Amino acid sequence: MSKITFLGAGSTVFAKNVLGDSMQVPALQGFEIALFDINPERLKDSEQMLNNLKATSGSSCIIKAYSDRKEALRGAKYVVNAIQVGGYDPCTITDFEIPKKYGLRQTIADTIGIGGIFRNLRTIPVMLDFAKDIREVCPDALFMNYTNPMAVLTNVMNTYGGVKTVGLCHSVQACVPHLFRALEMDDTGVQWKIAGINHMAWLLEVTKDGKDLYPEIKKRAAEKQNEKHHDMVRYEMMLRFGYYITESSEHNAEYHPYFIKRNYPELIDRFNIPLDEYPRRCIRQIEKWAKMREELVNDKSLEHCRSHEYASHIMEAIETDKPYKIGGNVMNTGLITNLPKEACVEVPCLVDASGVTPTYVGDLPPQCAALNRTNINTQLLTIEAALTGKKDHIYHAALLDPHTSAELSMDDIVAMCDELIEAHGDWLPKFS
């Protein structure tokens, strides 16, 4: 029996999407769906929810929850990862509140920046534990990572974990449909090409019947910058640097030194930047869970429509040898020629029975590559900190972060990192 293992299965809504999708794929019928989570209550909820879906869909997949991670992984052909180490309380709160004391504000804090650095530092050891188990009990498995910070964790699993890994993010497949809806343009028949790094990949080409649509996109975007909307940062970046970015404006506001600035507080209003957005989302999700739980877990007639998530399509393409195109996060084996070879990049990939095959992109536009490199610097130094256990590399990662270094002095950055290390306590390994 083939097996799909889902790590972080207590993420019930996401498990519904990925595994509900999988149960609808003819080529995946009869697979065991193995669930693992460190929260037994949430694990049980997801097991019950998926059994409800199994009944309504007529799937022959076998749903099984595990309390032993290694046994959940044993013999798996595919592994889906959706963990969050430390959760909202205490770790996300810490990631936001301590930097705020120093005058450093964030929006999402899950990619780079101070929040991204510390999320990585507490997640990398857990991921390397996963890798150790995978090498032992399912060494040929394809590891599909959905956990942020995407670029760093996917890099670590491939480079240091010895696990065949592709990172999957929603932002690539949502990019063009979102942009065209917002600009009231029809995306029927539109072709596009996207490449860069996760959360900062670039819409390099967008055409219809061979016609470049960028002039019309930029014209409409410029007109909309005179009114408040939720994508003002991305439009501004496109108008200044020439290309639209895959991830949302609230994310990109904290990836650059231009938007969240203490000395220019009017920029927050001008670009409609939602400071502290992620903690608010966490609170809303916690408050909504009681109702959502009733709807998801206890509804015997629960149904599911296949989502836009890549995971089930990847597994289907491998099982059937019918090619499928994704935007995947993979190591830069000469794929983007003006980004570092040590980086994890987001590029078009072909999936078939031979697995995930990335495609060659070549040079990005020089200004786009330059912006990517500012984020890659912090990513690679965060990995260095995690693998060496040296506190200095945490400082280096923070000192080179575009937003942090634009706002704080060197002394304040070091002091803030020290305070964050102490506050995280046992959520972090020991650094010297």
Sorting pLDDT into bands at 50, 70 and 90, what band is 423? very high
**Is the per-residue pLDDT at 1 higher than 80?**
no
Residue at 70: amino acid letter: K
Q: What is the mean pLDDT of residues 11-29?
A: 97
Cross-strand bridge partners of residue 200: 197
Q: Residue 229: CB partners within 8 Å, gap ≥ 6?
A: 182, 272
Residue 77's alpha-carbon distances to 56, 64, 80, 146, 375, in angstroms, are 25, 15, 10, 17, 33
Cβ neighbours around 276 below 10 Å, total: 15
Question: Which domains, and CATH codes, for the chain?
Answer: 3-168 (3.40.50.720)
Question: Looking at the annotation, which residues are catalytic?
Answer: 170
**What confidence category does residue 290 fall into, taking pLDDT thresholds of 50, 70 and 90?**
confident
Query: What pLDDT shows up at residue 291?
Result: 87
Q: Are 347 and 358 in contact (CB under 8 A)?
A: yes
- 148 annotated binding-site participant: yes
Q: What is the pLDDT of residues 166-218, one digit of tens each?
A: 999 999 999 999 999 999 999 999 999 999 999 999 999 999 999 999 999 99
The phi and psi torsions of 276 (rounded to 5 degrees) equal 60, 30
Asked whether residue 251 is marked as a ligand-binding residue, the answer is: no
pLDDT digits (tens, 9 = 90+) for 337-364: 999 999 999 999 999 999 999 999 999 9
Determine if residue 313 is labeled as part of a ligand binding site: no
Residues 53-92: pLDDT tens digits? 999 999 999 999 999 999 999 999 999 999 999 999 999 9
Please tell me what DSSP assigns to residue 234.
H
From the list 145, 248, 257, 247, the residue with the least C-alpha distance to 196 is: 247
User: pLDDT tens digit string along 113-167?
Assistant: 999 999 999 999 999 999 999 999 999 999 999 999 999 999 999 999 999 999 9
The share of the chain scoring above pLDDT 70, in percent, equals: 100
